[in-house]
Amino acid sequence: MQLKDKVVVVTGGASGIGAAMARRFAQEGARAVVVADRDGAAAQAVAKEFDGLGLHCDVTREPDLLHLIETTQHRFGAIDLFCSNAGVSIAGGPELPDAAWRQVWNVNLMAHVHAARALLPAMLARGQGYLLQTASAAGLLSQFDAPYAVSKHAAVAFAEWLAITYGSRGIKVSCLCPAGVDTPLLRAEPAQHQRLLSEGMVSAETVAEAVVKGLSAERFLILPQPWIGEQLRRKVEDPDRWLRGMGRWHDSIRPT
Ligand code: NAD
């Protein structure tokens, strides 16, 4: 997909990777870029930079997503590319209360499900449409916070399922899986995670560049850091060896 003249929506577009993608899509000549975020004022501020539309949308609320999609279609016509990008993390594992697991699950997975539910009927009727879902390297390699890694695995699986099920009916799907990216989400991580992530960390603009290239090639997995693909190969080739290595790495960053 080339972005020129396309109608694009980016959720979580007020900050970090979403804002960088929205700016980059506008530079590529998209006809309309709609920036959606639970922080509506910040979404409007980003959209104002390139004459786009900024809207408040809490992606955990299905009516908000429906409103976002209907408003975009009413103003600009059919949506060519929907980037389901909003995401959150809470540090911890099984000791976290259910409410924390549910919060992460609702943003990192269910928002993708609700967006697909709302978008697919019109996209299937047109025989075309592109869904970009931001997951994470944690959705392939299970590192860091448990609710985050688990929900991102689910997001990858859902993206795969969509590609398998609707690929022959004109629906394109890409799954964005970056490792460390210099954004407020990463900066909120515990210090030992940040130290480690900062080694291979890239900017949100670098991720946006990888997305434009990945969309152009219509590639399913978009990996802004190539070592993620190498780790994934090692995991598939020898899961036990890979788990031992990941365990040693995890122990090395455990706070003393
Ligand atoms: P960020 O915190 O800079 O941006 C996330 C945006 O999502 C914020 O503007 C926030 O207001 C918005 N948001 C959060 N919950 C929302 C909700 N319920 N409804 C609507 N908007 C909501 O973080 P980022 O790093 O740019 O993250 C973007 C995506 O990239 C996330 O899905 C994240 O998991 C993923 N990701 C980030 C990294 C990283 O290292 N930063 C790595 C891999 C994947």
Instruction: State residue 187's pLDDT score.
Output: 80
Task: Identify the weakest region by mean pLDDT among 88-97, 128-137, 151-160, 181-190.
Answer: 181-190
Question: For residue 199, is pLDDT > 80?
Answer: no
- pLDDT at residue 253 in the model: 72
Helices (H) and strands (E) in the chain, counts: 12, 7
The protein residue with its alpha carbon nearest to ligand 1, atom 12, reads 12
Mean pLDDT for the chain overall? 95
Catalytic residues: 148
At residue 228, the pLDDT reads 94
State the DSSP code for 218: T
The Cα–Cα gap between 8 and 29 comes to 11
Tell me the pLDDT tens digit for each residue of 88-132. 999 999 999 999 999 999 999 999 999 999 999 999 999 999 999
Q: Which tokens sit at 216?
A: 């152009």
Q: Is the pLDDT of residue 38 over 80?
A: yes
d(CA 173, CA 81): 10
pTM of the model: 0.96
CB of 22 within 6 A of ligand 1: the answer is no
Q: Would you say the C-alpha torsion 180, 185, 187, 191 has a positive or negative sign?
A: negative
C-beta of residue 110 within 8 angstroms of C-beta of residue 87: no
What's the pLDDT tens digit per position in 43-75? 999 999 999 999 999 999 999 999 999 999 999
Residue type, position 107, single letter: V
d(CA 86, ligand 1 centre) in Å? 5
Read off the pLDDT of each residue in 19-44 and give the average, rounded to a whole number: 98
Please report which confidence band the pLDDT of residue 192 belongs to, taking 50, 70 and 90 as the band edges. Answer: low
* Residue of 9, 10, 11, 17 best suited for mutating to test ligand 1, as the one with most atoms within 8 Å of CB: 17
User: What confidence tens digit (pLDDT) does each residue in 209-245 have?
Assistant: 999 999 999 999 999 999 999 999 999 999 999 999 9
Question: Bridge partners of 27?
Answer: none
Q: Which of 183, 195, 202, 206 most suits a substitution to test ligand 1, by most atoms within 8 Å of the C-beta?
A: 183
Ligand 1 pocket member 52 (CB < 6 A) = no
Amino acid at 122: A
The dihedrals phi and psi of 36, each to the nearest 5 degrees, come to -120, 140
Q: According to CATH, what is the number of the domain 7-227?
A: 3.40.50.720
Contact 91, 148 (CB under 8 A): no
Helix (H) or strand (E) holding 210: helix 204-216
The percentage of the chain sitting over the pLDDT mark of 70, rounded to a whole number, equals 95
Alpha-carbon distance of 34 to 14, in angstroms, equals 11
- Say yes or no to pLDDT of 142 above 60: yes
Domain ranges of the chain: 7-227
Cβ contact 83:8 at 8 Å:
yes
Contact in structure between 181 and 160 (CB atoms under 8 Å) = no
